[in-house]
Structures are given as C-alpha cells and as structure tokens.
A and B are shown apart, each in its own frame.
Chain A
Amino acid sequence: MACRFRIFLLKGWMFVLASLTTISAWGATDQIINPQVDRREIVIPRIDTEDFEPGIFMGIMSVEDFGTQAVYGARLAYHVTPGLFVEGTYGHTEVGETSYEKLSGGARLLTDSERKLGYYDVSLGYNLLPGETYLGEGLGFTSDFYVVAGVGSTDFAGNQRFTVNLGTGYRLLANDWLAVHLDMRDHLFNMDLLGENKTTHNIEISGGLSIFF
C-alpha cells in the first residue's frame, strides 16, 4: 500500500514537472515566433516650399520721344535654382507729348487711348552677386544683384510691338518672405510713327515689394 502511494506521489510530481516544462517551453516558443518590437511610425510633416515670388512695382519710364511718366505693374517670379529664376511682368504707363506736338501747337500724333502703353514680358534672370547688405550695427539682410533678359510685347500707339528687355536689379530680403526691389530695365522695340522705322530704347526705373510663398 505504501509502495502504491509512493508511486502515485512520484507520478504526481512527474505530471507537475512535465506541465511546468511544457509551460516554460511554450513561453519560450512564443518569444521566438512573436518578438515584441515596438516599431516607431515616422510621420514626416510637409515642408513648406517657397519658390514663387509675386510682387508689385512703381517707378518712372522714359518712352523715347514721348517723355518720362510714372509706370506701375506686377511681377511673378519662379525660382528654379538658387541662381536662376523665370519672371513674367506686366507694366502700364501713359506717355506725354513729343517735342513736335508741343512746338507745332495743336498737331497730335496719337489719340488719348493710343497714349496708353502696356507691356508684358517673360524673362530669365540670374542672381549674379548674392550676398549680404548691412544697414547699421548688427542689422544684416541677405541681398542679390541680378541680371534679367527676356522677350515680350508692348501695346503702344495702336500696335503690338515685339519687345526685348534687358535689365539689372537689386533684391533685399527684409525677412524670410518679404523682399524690397530696385530695378532698371531697358525695353527695346521698333517704332515707325515719326517716319522712319527705328529701334527705340525705353528705360524704366522702379522700386517694388514682393513676397515669397
């Protein structure tokens, strides 16, 4: 009887041991198959891109034979590389009288609507001298000296005229996104109003503001 009881105890122990081994083995298997690694989700926020630069300008424009008047307009530039940009411009001015009209006392070459001059052009620009400008102690701004060249059309004296424009400008960034411009442009187009067909140089000097977005 005592012997039987001992065998029963032994079996019991073996059962408990086997169960424990199984449980521990199961636990170990679980670890190998399903590693509990926390994978971090990386969400990259959208980074604001600021390659466009719209702006407005005002200044004076000298139209050959017709005197110098105020000019105003708007520009939109797209910056392709740190150096290169493309730019579309629209400008408007109203010309005065030629010397001939003033001296002849009454003879008029153009009607009032023909005296309105509007131009558009598309230009390529290059930031030739990028650098910094200092205004007083510790107040520095990034600035560029750029050159532009392009083609366009000028609506003046009743006709559309193919126009080449060449110019230089200076851009000073007041902060990240606001720029102050000083520009000088020469608009070259042909005029045949005063008898002969000649290429005229029409100089425009302007100042403006633009924003980057």
Chain B
Amino acid sequence: MSKTRKGGRVILCTGCAFLRALTAFMALILNALPISASAEDRHLRVEVAEPYLELHVGPGEAYSVFHVVARGEKIEVLKQRTGWFKIRTEKNVEGWVPRARLEQTLVAPGEKFSVREASQENFVGRNWEAGVLTGNFEGSNLISLYTGYAFNPNLSAELSLAQILGDFSDSLMFNFDLVAQPFDDWRASPFFLLGTGVIDTHARKTVVASNDSRDQISHVGVGFKVYMGRRFIFRAEYRNSVIFAQSDDNKEIDEWRAGFAFFY
C-alpha cells in the first residue's frame, strides 16, 4: 500500500485499487445525493452569542471537535438527531452541536433559541405509550409488545400481545388491561393492573402427550414505570394470572415482565 506523488499526479499501487473504487463510490454517493438545495431558505438562522461554539464531526460528545465558530457569526440549523443539531456556518462548514450549546445562541437580539424537548411533564401528560417487555411466564420465556392509551394521568387501557416459548409448548397470548397509576408525578411511579385475555397454546412437535388449546386468562398485576429521559421509560411488573382451562382445573401462573417503552 504505497502512494507516491509525481509531477502533481497521484499514482496508486494495484493493491489500493479496491480502496480507490470504494472511495470513488463513496464520493459518488456524496455528490449524487445531496440534501435538497430548495430546503436551504427554510432553515432557522441563529447568531452565536457565546465567545465561541465548537463543532463536532458527529452527533455525540465522543466525536472530535474540528471547527470553532466565533461570537457574532450567523449559523443555520439543518437538522437534529438524539439531542444534537447539525449546523452550517456562513463559510459553509457543517458540524454538530449539542442542544445545551445551541440554546445559548440568539434567534433575535436578546432572544435565546429554545428547543422543546420531551420531559417528565410530557410523561405525566402522555396519551400513547408503546413498548417491548420480556420475562418469565411460569418457567417459560416471554416476549411481549404492548400499546396503551391514557384517559388521564392516572388511568390507561392497554393491549398486549405476548409470545411464550417453553420447552413443551409455545403460546400466543392477547390481553386487555386497565392500568391505574396513582402517583403519576413520581419519577419511578408504581401502577396496578387488572385484565383479561385469550391464550392459544400449541404443543411442541417433539412432545407427544399434549394437545393444542385455547383458554381464557385473567390477571392482576403490580409494577412500576421509571422515566428515563426524552421519550423513554423503563417498566417492570409482576402478574398473577389464572388460566380457565377447558380440559382441566384452573391453572395459576406467576409472570414477570420488564422492558422499555416510548410515549408520545
């Protein structure tokens, strides 16, 4: 992999041909697919009010700083990703700045730029919630998807679909729950739930003495939700369920679930 310069021309060895092709491909992508130019005049323009503003190469503190914008310079805000903003300077330099720094810039004389960011108040006043939970259903593994609608900060209704994968059978469970959350403004807020649903059990191929079945299931549960920042919550719960089996006596089930959810 050697590279020499002769009379202004760059000569690459054959070993670098692949790299050169890849570089050309990347450059092609970069040139062929630019951000639409028509969008330029729609971008917000702000003025740097701090002594300087550092630009990172990527959206994150770990990406290195490569450029500094001086006080008084105007910058354009192009887009945001995970609380970081891509900006363009008057000299067409593009880089990323964090929200806290951008909020020190001015949109008009004396008026600081402010970004509406989801907070715990949004969590309390949320309407919709959706997430993924995983856990244990009487010794079997469980994966569940759920979505909920909040009528008010204290009461919501949830629909959940769970797949239960055990050694002898796998099941699909569909539940409807009512969830009461009495201390809605706590960061770690406990909740109680009551619900019912249907569980479809399918015996494993390798197990002989078992049949497929469809039964009703009801449960009570207790758990908590923790606001993690932005639109993210952690949730963990315990459910005590009863399967109203058609063929046998009722079966009591201990169930644990934990996972993450978004609200909006």
Contact surface of A with B, Cβ cutoff 8 Å: 40, 42, 44-45, 47-51, 78-83, 86, 122, 124, 127, 130-132, 135-136, 139-142, 151-153, 157-162, 173-176, 178, 190, 192-193, 197, 212
**Contact flags B199-243 to A (C-beta < 8 A → 1, else 0):** 000001110000000000000000000000110100000000000
| Chain B residues within an 8 Å CB radius of A162 | 140-141, 143, 165
| Chain A residues within an 8 Å CB radius of B82 | 51, 79-82
In the complex with contacts A82-B59, A135-B19, A139-B26, A212-B81 CB distance below 8 A: yes
Give B151-178 interface residues, CB cut-off 8 Å to A: 163, 165, 167, 170
Task: Report yes or no: A160 in contact with B163, Cβ–Cβ below 8 A.
Answer: yes
| Chain B residues within an 8 Å CB radius of A158 | 205
Q: Can you show 25 pairs from A to B with CB atoms below 8 A apart?
A: A42-B111, A44-B44, A45-B42, A48-B79, A49-B81, A50-B81, A78-B262, A80-B232, A81-B82, A83-B62, A127-B60, A127-B62, A131-B62, A132-B57, A132-B63, A136-B20, A139-B23, A139-B26, A139-B27, A158-B205, A161-B165, A162-B141, A162-B143, A175-B30, A192-B206
Task: Report yes or no: A82 in contact with B57, Cβ–Cβ below 8 A.
Answer: no
Task: Report yes or no: A153 in contact with B163, Cβ–Cβ below 8 A.
Answer: yes
Task: Report yes or no: A82 in contact with B170, Cβ–Cβ below 8 A.
Answer: no
How far in angstroms is the closest Cβ of chain B from A10? 54
Is B85 positioned at the interface, with any CB of A under 8 Å from its CB? yes
Task: Report yes or no: A140 in contact with B57, Cβ–Cβ below 8 A.
Answer: yes
| Chain B residues within an 8 Å CB radius of A160 | 163, 165, 170
A48 to B260 alpha-carbon distance, docked (Å):
25
Q: How many residues of B contact A (CB 8 A)?
A: 53
Query: How many contacts between A and B, using CB within 8 angstroms?
Result: 119
Task: Report yes or no: B63 in contact with A131, Cβ–Cβ below 8 A.
Answer: yes
Task: Report yes or no: A82 in contact with B83, Cβ–Cβ below 8 A.
Answer: yes
Task: Report yes or no: B33 in contact with A178, Cβ–Cβ below 8 A.
Answer: yes
- Return the chain B residue nearest A140 by Cβ: B57
| Chain B residues within an 8 Å CB radius of A139 | 23, 26-27
In the complex with contacts A45-B43, A80-B232, A151-B134, A142-B86 CB distance below 8 A: no
Task: Report yes or no: A50 in contact with B63, Cβ–Cβ below 8 A.
Answer: no
Q: Most chain-B CB neighbours within 10 Å: which of A40, A140, A159, A192? A: A159
A67 to B78 alpha-carbon distance, docked (Å):
48
Partner of B33, one of A48, A153, A175: A175
How far in angstroms is the closest Cβ of chain A from B13? 13
